Amino acid sequence: MEPTIVRLTSPTTDVIVRCQPFAEILYWGPHLSGFMPEDVLTLSRAVPNGRLDVDTPLTLAAESGRGLFGSPGVEGHRDGYDWSPVFTTSEITHQDNQLLILAEDPQAGLQLRSELQLDSASGVLKMRHTLINHHAARYWVNRLALTLPLPERAGEVMAFHGRWIREFQPHRITLEHGGYLQENRRGRSSHEYFPGMMVGSRGFSEQQGEVWGIHLGWSGNHRLRADVKTDGRRLLQAEALYLPGEQELEGGASLSTPWLYAASSRTGLNALSQQFHRYVRQNILRFPDHRPRPVHLNTWEGIYFDHQPEYIMQMATKSAELGVERFIIDDGWFRGRDHDRAALGDWYLDEKKYPNGLAPVIEHVKQLGMEFGIWVEPEMINPDSDLFRAHPDWVLGLPGYQQPTGRFQYVLDLCNPQVFEYLLERMNWLLSNHDIDYIKWDMNREIVQPAHLGRASLTAQTEQFYRLLDSLRERFPQVEFESCASGGGRIDFEVLQRCHRFWTSDNNDALERQTIQRGMSYFFPPEVMGSHIGNRQCHATERQHSIGFRGLTALFGHMGIELDPVKEGDTEQLGFVRYVALHKSLRPLLHSGDVIRIDHHDPSTQINGVVAPGQERAVILVSQLTMPNHQLPGNLRIPGLRPDARYRITLLDTPPLIHQQQGGHTMRQLPAWMKQPCDVSGEWLAQVGLALPVLDPESAMLIGLEQL
Ligand code: DGJ
């Protein structure tokens, strides 16, 4: 039988799969215009001397039983047997851009079901495997991974490291021999290792180079690998990381991988991100009615645990005056929660703080025309809580060991039905008895020894978290949820199926936010990226920033303010009003357009922007992070506009750039386009550009472009 060749195709991307003897992706990359199935003949490989006498296809399961010697896609056993399966395709279903391949190993008693779906609109490929145990005896799964091939010229990895208050930091590794392995064992998507990476031609940048990117939609532990085999072939592999004994399949039972999302580009990282963003907007986000995302005021860095309803109402009044559209009461509203060492788990209103209940505050907020939101952290428990005193056995952990606390708290065992029911009942109480539009769902610690009744249970714990959120969303479809885990600790596509936005980081320092938000923008569009104007002196770093730099940095996300507006002086308040209004005027563009990150020769200048889908408008932020390298910063070239159209350039916001009678400042004379209206073509902007002014470190300017 001739092997079946299947092509999934979209205007941006093609995927070509040879389905026999088992599925092998022959090509994954930019769209091919004249492909014929017989073209794949050119890919029939040589068999070199000195190794196996047969060709070994790099299949979707990378089977070691075929002689692949690398990291296999299925690792498991049946009491020591059936540990090296080799799959043969038994059924192929190809419809539109969806491919389902069933493959069997009758000897090992296993079936592998591989689903590949290419989204025509975005070009994103979505894949998962399901392993089914067809024998009566139990099968233990140690690993179940998805494998994607890469071309030999993919020589550089860009992955992300991070930590609390410094998430999404990209780093690069040259891929030559061996490979790069990223493991996350922290029990949530994590601040440390975002479950995504890119591999590309050496030196790929925002606007240049070939790039292939993946993201594993999973909020638990993961393993990602970019490998170079000794024969030079390269691959990406992604999987949920299972703890010992975590996955056992009884006869007939199955296990699915999380969905893996993949995209590729010939023109650098921008095109890759735009595909992921398009995919998220069209297929993942469930934002009610696509209405504008309301500007937030979050109380946390304003009042922390000091909740006084009268004062909170004053904060709400002031917030409404500033243009805020949603007011959120953060941590501190429930019984005994006067500091972060007690009360998590006791989800009852603190009647000492709120003797008349929450209703007067909520009514006040609503009368001001704002929505109301509130903070919860359901998965957690403080040892100093009534819940812990009543149910110390509800804690997630291995019996017989002492669990370390994290932020003075333990995690609850969501696989315990009593725990699950308790949390559902308490959240149900909160949402049924109060007029709440929005829940900030926090998760402030890592998980050590996750176990239910002694057995490892991190995957099940993660699935129970999804189930809890799903149950609440079903009961309260009008309520929006934010995924927060000490800021950016749980950010991924799977949790985004269940929430509306992320709290990006606990760090509101505008300088740090510039890199954190840029890192997050590789995968996520601006509208899901919570970005707040924080206090002038940042609480996370003690650094001080002008309202201009803070306002412009917060502008490019789902904007909010996080401080006590009542205590702020006139200059700050005028700034809040200005940047909230600016955000609202640009919001339709920012939350629907194509994100661009612009390559610039001097890394001290960071430039990003958004271009309207029809290219008739754009907004560009030029941020000076540190001292510029040269006295003149050079030209800003703006890609993505219509080459033959003419655009009016407008300065939307700038810091004071020339200080008369002061020495030592940056400039004597501004570039001409900043002083008089200037119209140029999209081609000129892309190829030649605008002379930039000299900016001070930790300041930014905003440029608007409007087609004439
Ligand atoms: C961590 C969150 O990221 C903060 O924004 C705040 O909600 C605190 N937790 C409250 O405990």
pLDDT tens digits, residue range 417-434? 999 999 999 999 999 999
pLDDT tens digits, one per residue of 580-636: 999 999 999 999 999 999 999 999 999 999 999 999 999 999 999 999 999 899 999
Residue 206: C-alpha distances to residues 97, 155, 325 (Å): 28, 16, 34
Atom 11 (ligand 1): residue with closest C-alpha? Answer: 331
Atom 6 (ligand 1): residue with closest C-alpha? Answer: 300
Q: In the predicted model, is pLDDT for residue 662 greater than 70?
A: no
- Cα 371 to middle of ligand 1, angstroms: 20
What is the reported pLDDT for 2? 67
For a mutational test of ligand 1's pocket, the pick from 165, 300, 562, i.e. the residue with the most ligand atoms closer than 8 A to its C-beta, is 300
Tokens of 610: 């958004």
In DSSP terms, which residues pair with 146 in a beta bridge? 238
pLDDT tens digits, one per residue of 221-279: 999 999 999 999 999 999 999 999 999 999 999 999 999 999 999 999 999 999 999 99
Atom 1 (ligand 1): residue with closest C-alpha? Answer: 486
Is the minimum distance from the CB of 486 to ligand 1 under 6 angstroms?
A: yes
Catalytic residue from among 82, 413, 437, 442? 442
Is the minimum distance from the CB of 375 to ligand 1 under 6 angstroms?
A: yes
Is the minimum distance from the CB of 506 to ligand 1 under 6 angstroms?
A: yes
Ligand 1 atom with minimal separation from the 562 CA: 5
- For the full predicted model, state whether its pTM sits above 0.95: yes
For a mutational test of ligand 1's pocket, the pick from 166, 188, 444, 563, i.e. the residue with the most ligand atoms closer than 8 A to its C-beta, is 444
Is the minimum distance from the CB of 442 to ligand 1 under 6 angstroms?
A: yes
Is the minimum distance from the CB of 484 to ligand 1 under 6 angstroms?
A: yes
The one-letter code for the residue type at 557 is: G
Ligand 1 atom with minimal separation from the 487 CA: 3
Catalytic residue from among 105, 119, 506, 594? 506
Long-range contacts of 289-295 (CB under 8 A, 24+ apart): 292/584, 292/587, 292/588, 292/591, 293/501, 293/527, 293/558, 293/587, 293/591, 294/325, 294/326, 294/370, 294/371, 295/323, 295/324, 295/325, 295/326, 295/559, 295/560, 295/561, 295/580, 295/583, 295/584
Respond yes or no: is residue 506 known to be catalytic. yes
Atom 9 (ligand 1): residue with closest C-alpha? Answer: 486
pLDDT tens digits, one per residue of 56-94: 999 999 999 999 999 999 999 999 999 999 999 999 999
Non-local (6+) Cβ contacts of 335 within 8 A are 343, 346, 348, 349, 350, 351, 386
Q: In the predicted model, is pLDDT for residue 555 greater than 90?
A: yes
For a mutational test of ligand 1's pocket, the pick from 338, 443, 503, 516, i.e. the residue with the most ligand atoms closer than 8 A to its C-beta, is 503
Q: In the predicted model, is pLDDT for residue 661 greater than 70?
A: no
Report the greatest alpha carbon distance in the chain: 87
Written as one string, the DSSP assignment of 88-147 is: EEEEEEEETTEEEEEEEETTTTEEEEEEEEE-TTT--EEEEEEEEE-SSS-EEEEEEEEE
